[in-house]
Structure 1
Amino acid sequence: MSVTAVIRKNSYFDSVSLMSISTKANGIDGVDQAFVAMATEMNKAVLENLGLLSDELKAATTSDLMIVVVPSEGADGDELVPLVEELLVRKAPAAGSAEVSHRTIASALEEDADINLAVIAVNGAFAAREARKALDAGLNVMMFSDNVAVEDEIALKNLAHDNGLLMMGPDCGTAILNGVALCFGNAVRPGTVGIVAASGTGSQEVSVQVHALGGGVSQLIGTGGRDLSAEVGGVMMIDGIRALAADPGTEVIVLVSKPPAAETEAKVLAEVANAGKPVVVYFIGGSRDAVLAAGGHFAASSADAARQAVELSSAAASAPETLDAGQVDAVLARLTPEQVNVRGLFCGGTLCDESMYALLNDGHEVFSNIQKNPAFQIGAADSSRGHTFLDFGDDEFTNGRPHPMIDPSNRLARIVEEAKDPSVAALVMDFVLGFGAHEDPAGVTLPAIREAQRIAQEDGRHLEIIAYVLGTELDTPGLDAQRKALAGAGVTVTSSSTVTGEFARAIARKGAAA
């Protein structure tokens, strides 16, 4: 295997930029594989696992940029590297443009003293330092960076709390503040539903379902995925509840999280009674009794959370779409007795969780890389068994690679591989639209879907493919275009994450009864 590697000394690029650049680099003609990343120990370990780590790359420091290209047969790596480097060149602003680049937070504030928010997307080793600078300067912070020590997160959130500021993150991927969507937010209409979420795709899902039902979002405050852990203690979610309780533009508050730590859940629910506004609580695996005892409105699903929020607000609510029993029966009739398993391949962690819990709560055994039960945990390199649901956005899949919402190529090979298993009845997957996401997630996945369908057909069986597109008609690409592209390929397209889980559960029930 021919490998060409270049090191750019002291050339820092943030993780968001490099994820996008890596995606584009892998699409260059003649490139079999491209790896563009900072020379962190984690990224060098990924290269070593791929057999691409040279002594020169091993000696690079964390401030150095690594460009590694594996050319296709007949291509020249030395000719391809400059094409990758072109992607790193930042175009100067056009004449008259208001866009200005600053190298430090301090210089940005010197230019515009009205700035009140900093988005931190630097290497995790430096993220806490930059966030502290921003907080000390009186700025709210959204930290997209991950790999930040929990001790730093606690200190930063306490500092923000003491100064009346938001500290969203680390690993916070979604927010909508004063009508502006940040990072992976979706384009939704403004309204009176406020959301505080320790889940990026979970908050996206609730926001787009609120939009679909005729409501709108006042604010969406992300907390970062660890906020409701026992260590962090829900500092940001509690401050978010208080902020929305004081916001005159918010009529209803929705809380969203994967399963929280029990002691932290109790602290958060204690805030519900003091909010002075209706609070809808969607904690996957949470307790209905505990939420009701706290004076909240318990939501059993993301769709249920959105429906209750819109109904409790002043917006005119439309009826939510539900699972079509006739459509389910038609699918079940096409399956062979041997097809008993469902395989979920997700880009969004909470979307994976919601579908997985639809089966778990029905008594089915489910293997997953995000399973809480150690007996049913599997790794990224493990083969599927029985019902298997994978979150391709989990750290094990994304080490050294872009998030699948940016580059879903990591999922493509698995789609084809799962189709070879004659026990598989259905593949279930998500397609996430929004700012920062892939420009055509359905389009880039359709070749793998068609190959999976071909494999099953040649084996004399039907492979059902169920897809949910998270987005709105205001997103680019638009929701309808993505749905039509999938439906045109024979894919069953669902209306919500909740319906997706219900569909998967119906197929699993058929398998259990076989």
Structure 2
Amino acid sequence: MSTRVAVRKNSYKDSVRLLEATRAILGSPGVSWGWALMATPANLETLAEQGIAGDVEGAAANDLVLAVRAEDDDSAAAALETASETLFAATAQEAKGDVPNATDLGQALAERPDANVAIISVPGSYAALETHKALTAGLNVLLFSDNVPLQEEIELKERARDLGRLVMGPGAGTAMIAGAGLGFANRVSAGPVGIVAAAGTGAQEVMSLLDRWGIGVSHVIGVGGRDLSPEVGGLMAESALRALDADERTQAILLVSKPPSREVAERLLKVPTKPTVAALMGLRDSLSTPDHVTVVNTLERGAAETIALVGGSTPDLVQGSAEQVATLITGLAPTRRKVVGLYSGGTLCYEALTIATDHLGAIHSNVPLDKSLTVDSAKPDSHLFLDLGEEEYTVGRPHPMIDPQARIEFLERQVDDAGVAAVLLDVVIGDGAHDDPAGMLAPAIEKVTGSGAIVVAYVLGTELDPQGFASQQETLRRAGCIVTETAARAALAASAIALRDPALVAAEL
């Protein structure tokens, strides 16, 4: 086994580029571990946990570190070279004059004076300053950075509102403006539905469902997960709703969020005059809303209700899944009663928790609905849903949408658990996601199904996505999965397996 580290002084790269480089390392032959990072104190501490310390002594926060562990020296060297090529390809193009060489916002605007959006991806402590610069320049902002203090978020959004601009974020991984995807986005047809989302994979799920069901999308405006909280008060959601209400291409509006502040939600839903659906996942209480506003509590129903507003129709959502469940549970050992969810999309994990809890009862999680139902408090027979995109699972490795390796490891752990009835997976495709996530997961899925458990999977994406929606589904089916039409149906199918109740797959949401 060979471990190699390369340090490049004063070579700052943003988080998006670092994720791309990490994926390049991990995709190299013979590599078992790798990471592209900036040498912040927290990252260096994580490297030390991997046994890498002396190699980065003296490295500072503005220094780039490439680290790899591979089966031999040649494999390690090749992986580092691949990562360097990934990171510095743009720099090489700039040197040739193929790409404008802008080193700051001012130079970028000089090169592109017609630009109206800035994508900001810097450490959270610098994000507010860079966002203020962009707002001063008259730009809207997609703020990819996370770890932005709450008070700074409020100040940024108040200023953006006063300037008539949008701050999408912080932590906004998904947006699509007039057909141009920003961050993690799915490729969809143009159409009459505008989406405002305080949930990244929630936005991806509804835009993909709409596209697959024959209705296109005008815009997707991500506002950050805290926007509908009492503290932020829906500052950007209100601006986004007003923008879509005034947009002549948008005929109907779909708002997506985890349960918001009741006061904030009721105020926001009085803003649009166009037909509007609010998909507020897990919402239990009724809201006071105008007659042209429909409130539902799942992404599936949100997409279905929106489709109806613009004259479309929803396809068969069960598509034989109940029959598959009925067949497979006949061979399931009586001891297998547990459901394990291994999610890459945080919003999809949350929605699954809200749906499955109604049928299974208590579900432990790293993002539990009941704060007492932690991972550490789970018993061997407890249902367990994990959001593997949360920070505790991504320190020192890419997000699972980019690199499926973390989920492969968790999948393989289920092989030896004789209590597992169903394993529940989401497979997110689109721009920014892994080139072939289903193909990467398939061997581990086959091990799980071979051990006697059932795997239920859902593919979030469209046929326009580069990975190919149908081909990803087919790969999962060949591996032995039940593949569902929506993420919500996957949660119901897994619950149906644990309860030996196939009819549950077709339950009304």
Q: TM-score, normalised by structure 2?
A: 0.92
Q: Which amino acid aligns with 2:276?
A: V
Q: In structure 2, do the counterparts of structure 1 residues 410 and 259 end up closer, same or farther at CA, with 3 Å as the change threshold? A: same
2:312 aligned residue: 316
CA shift, 1:439, in A, is: 0.7
Secondary structure of 1:339 counterpart: coil
Matched, 1:432 2:428: yes
Secondary structure of 1:90 counterpart: helix
Q: Percent of aligned positions with the same letter in both sequences?
A: 38
1:253 aligned residue: 253
CA distance, structure 2, for counterparts of residue 135 and residue 81 of structure 1: 38
CA distance, structure 2, for counterparts of residue 287 and residue 502 of structure 1: 18
Secondary structure of 1:316 counterpart: coil
2:382 aligned residue: 386
Matched, 1:22 2:12: no
CA distance, structure 2, for counterparts of residue 230 and residue 327 of structure 1: 44
CA contact (8 A) 1:42 1:400 kept: no
CA shift, 1:229, in A, is: 2.5
Q: In structure 2, do the counterparts of structure 1 residues 385 and 402 end up closer, same or farther at CA, with 3 Å as the change threshold? A: farther
1:418 aligned residue: 414
CA distance, structure 1, for counterparts of residue 41 and residue 85 of structure 2: 26
Q: In structure 2, do the counterparts of structure 1 residues 321 and 363 end up closer, same or farther at CA, with 3 Å as the change threshold? A: closer
Deviations 1:58-99 (Å, cap 9, x if unpaired)?
A: 532110111222232575756754454333321544999974
Secondary structure of 2:87 counterpart: coil
Q: Which amino acid aligns with 2:445?
A: I
1:404 aligned residue: 400
Matched, 1:132 2:136: no
CA distance, structure 2, for counterparts of residue 76 and residue 289 of structure 1: 58
Quick check: 320-329 or 224-233, which moved more?
Answer: 320-329
CA distance, structure 2, for counterparts of residue 382 and residue 59 of structure 1: 42
Secondary structure of 1:3 counterpart: strand
2:490 aligned residue: 500
CA contact (8 A) 1:33 1:71 kept: yes
CA contact (8 A) 1:321 1:495 kept: yes
1:459 aligned residue: none
Q: In structure 2, do the counterparts of structure 1 residues 432 and 77 end up closer, same or farther at CA, with 3 Å as the change threshold? A: closer
CA distance, structure 2, for counterparts of residue 251 and residue 59 of structure 1: 57
2:197 aligned residue: 197
CA contact (8 A) 1:30 1:75 kept: no
CA contact (8 A) 2:446 2:480 kept: no
CA contact (8 A) 2:458 2:490 kept: yes
CA distance, structure 2, for counterparts of residue 44 and residue 385 of structure 1: 37
Secondary structure of 1:362 counterpart: helix
Match of 1:443 among 439, 445, 461: 439
Unaligned 5+ runs, structure 2: 502-509
Q: In structure 2, do the counterparts of structure 1 residues 154 and 488 end up closer, same or farther at CA, with 3 Å as the change threshold? A: same
CA contact (8 A) 1:213 1:320 kept: no
2:41 aligned residue: 41
| RMSD between superposed Cα atoms in Å | 2.5
CA distance, structure 1, for counterparts of residue 183 and residue 255 of structure 2: 20
Unaligned 5+ runs, structure 1: 457-461
CA contact (8 A) 1:269 1:294 kept: no
Matched, 1:329 2:326: yes
Q: Which amino acid aligns with 2:126?
A: F
1:339 aligned residue: 336
Q: TM-score, normalised by structure 1?
A: 0.91
CA shift, 1:46, in A, is: 1.7
CA shift, 1:242, in A, is: 1.3
